C-alpha cells in the first residue's frame, strides 16, 4: 500500500469517529425544547406545548433576524434568539396544531429563508450546530422553481448542450441574429472581410 492510501484500520477509525460525531450531534439536537428540519429554501420548527393552550396564550415574534416563542406569563421563552441568516418575514408564519402525542399541541413555525442556497447550522445562534457539510439536499425538478429562476436554469442547460455539440450559445445566436438583421438593413456595406466572433 502507498502512503496516501488509508489502511483498513484507518478507514474503520474514521468511520467510528464519524458515527460518534453523528451520535453526539443527534443527542445535542434531541435535548433542544424543539425539533427542526430544513430544505434549501426554508426551515420548519415544531415546539411541543401543553394541550390546553390556545393561540392567544402564546407570544410568538418573528422578525427578519430574530425569533421568540413563549407561553404568556412564563419567565423563560421556549426558543428565543437570532437566526444565523435572515428570513422573509411576510412569507414566514406560525400555527398552533393539535397532535396525537403528548403534550397534545405544538407550535409549528415556518421560516422562509432569504438566501435559498445556504444551509443553516442551527435555528438560533448559540444553539448546538449540525454539520451542514453532511446535509444531502432533496432532489428537485425544474417545476419546483419560480419562473425567473427556471428560465435562467433552462437557458444554462441549453447553452451547455450547445457547447457540448459545438454549437452556439443562446447569447451567441442572439448576436448573430442582430448582425444578420443589420446586414439586411445595410446591403451597401461589405462584410466579406469582417472578423466576427
In angstroms, what CA-CA distances link 54 with 59, 69, 72, 172? 11, 13, 11, 61
Cell of 57: 396564550
Question: Residues 121-173: pLDDT tens digits?
Answer: 999 999 988 888 777 666 666 677 777 777 877 887 787 778 778 888 888 88
Strands (E), the chain: 35-38, 42-50, 58-62, 66-71, 79-82, 93-98, 104-112
DSSP 139: P
Q: How confident is the model at residue 197 (pLDDT cuts 50, 70, 90)?
A: low
Compute the C-alpha angle 178/179/184, nearest 5°. Answer: 100
Fold for the domain defined by 32-139? Immunoglobulin-like (2.60.40)
| pLDDT value of position 137 | 66
Cell 435562467 found at: 152
Assess contact for 153 and 145: CB atoms under 8 A: yes
How far apart, in whole angstroms, are the C-alpha atoms of residue 159 and residue 138? 25
Strand partners, 96: 107
- Bond from prior residue into 103 cis (ω within 30 degrees of 0): yes
| pLDDT value of position 95 | 97
Q: How many CB atoms lie within 10 A of CB 50?
A: 11
DSSP 89: G
Sketch the domain layout of the chain as residue ranges: 32-139, 147-185
How far apart, in whole angstroms, are the C-alpha atoms of residue 112 and residue 126? 20
How far apart, in whole angstroms, are the C-alpha atoms of residue 126 and residue 123? 9
Q: How confident is the model at residue 4 (pLDDT cuts 50, 70, 90)?
A: confident
Question: Residues 34-86: pLDDT tens digits?
Answer: 999 998 899 999 999 999 999 999 999 999 999 999 999 999 999 999 999 99
User: Is the predicted pLDDT of residue 191 greater than 70, yes or no?
Assistant: yes
Amino acid at each position: 500500500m502507498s502512503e496516501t492510501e488509508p489502511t483498513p484500520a484507518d478507514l474503520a477509525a474514521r468511520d467510528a469517529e464519524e458515527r460518534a460525531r453523528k451520535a453526539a450531534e443527534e443527542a445535542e439536537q434531541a435535548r433542544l425544547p424543539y425539533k427542526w428540519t430544513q430544505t434549501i429554501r426554508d426551515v420548519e420548527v415544531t415546539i411541543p406545548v401543553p394541550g390546553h393552550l390556545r393561540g392567544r396564550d402564546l407570544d410568538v415574534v418573528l422578525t427578519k433576524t430574530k425569533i421568540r416563542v413563549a407561553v404568556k406569563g412564563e419567565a423563560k421563552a421556549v426558543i428565543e434568539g437570532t437566526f444565523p441568516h435572515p428570513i422573509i418575514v411576510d412569507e414566514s408564519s406560525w400555527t398552533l396544531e393539535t397532535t396525537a402525542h403528548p403534550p397534545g399541541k405544538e407550535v409549528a413555525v415556518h421560516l422562509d429563508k432569504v438566501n435559498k442556497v445556504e444551509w443553516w447550522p442551527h435555528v438560533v445562534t448559540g444553539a448546538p450546530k449540525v454539520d451542514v457539510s453532511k446535509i444531502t439536499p432533496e432532489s428537485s425538478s425544474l417545476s419546483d422553481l419560480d419562473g425567473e429562476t427556471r428560465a435562467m436554469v433552462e437557458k444554462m442547460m441549453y447553452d451547455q448542450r450547445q457547447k457540448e455539440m459545438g454549437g452556439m450559445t443562446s447569447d451567441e445566436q442572439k448576436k448573430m441574429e442582430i448582425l444578420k438583421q443589420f446586414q439586411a438593413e445595410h446591403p451597401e456595406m461589405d462584410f466579406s472581410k469582417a472578423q466576427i466572433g
